[in-house]
Amino acid sequence: MISTKKRREGRHGGGIGSGRQWCWFAGGSTDDCLSIDVRRWKREGLLTSPQSFLSLWERQGEVLAAIRVRTEPDRVILDYRHRGDGEDWQDERYPVYLDWTAAPLGGKRPWFRCPAEGCGRRVAILYGGGIFACRRCYRLTYPSQREAEQAPRQAGLPQPPWRETQGDALAHLRSVDGAP
């Protein structure tokens, strides 16, 4: 397994020959990261082995990042370069194991096994950092989770009691009960 500890400390550059920021870590959003989706690769017939392909991330026709993928039975090999702010380029080449489960209407559904050290979680999407790992390893949230947390605050509504500090909650209870 590959460690994500060092990679969580900051932003990382990405892709073969790219200076693209891969992800904002430690509480960032999944929308802030490059990602690979095993379901899309299966739909496009890219998981049949042996084969190699290049996965690209583009914005307005400009390639932001690229990763070489080689398929083997029950795993894919990821091959790319990345760098953090002001750091030298680092080559990465490692396997991501696949797991297959029966689909409800027949066929088989692929899953990635998170390659981060100590994880191995079965996921459909891996997010780019120094390595590609699951959102839990990088402590990423979905954008809708952030919106749900911020909406009451932005609307000027009071925060729910479980978000108050203990002192605020005790003061509230005292004022309701009329106790000092």
Q: What residue ranges do the domains of the chain occupy?
A: 6-141, 144-177
Q: Please enumerate in sequence order all residues whose Cβ is within 8 A of that of 107, keeping only pairs 6 or more positions apart, or say none.
A: none
pLDDT value for 24: 42
Please state, in angstroms and as integers, the Cα–Cα distance from residue 39 to each residue in 46, 157, 180, following that order: 10, 40, 60
Burial string for 129-160 (b: 16+ CB within 10 Å, else e) reads bbbbbbbebbebeeeeeeeeeeeeeeeeeeee
Write down the pTM of the prediction.
0.66
Residue 90's H or E segment, with its range, is strand 90-102
Among 5-9, 42-46, 98-102, the least confident range: 5-9
Per-residue pLDDT of 30-64, as tens digits, reads 777 889 999 999 999 999 989 999 988 887 888 87
| 3, pLDDT greater than 90 | no
Name the percent of the chain lying above pLDDT 70. Answer: 64
pLDDT band at 77 (very low <50, low <70, confident <90, very high): very high
Please list the alpha-helical segments (H only) found in the chain.
38-43, 143-154, 166-177
Please list the alpha-helical segments (H only) found in 31-165.
38-43, 143-154
**Look-up: residue for tokens 């009960």?**
177
Question: Is the distance from CB of 161 to CB of 175 less than 8 angstroms?
Answer: no
pLDDT value for 133: 93
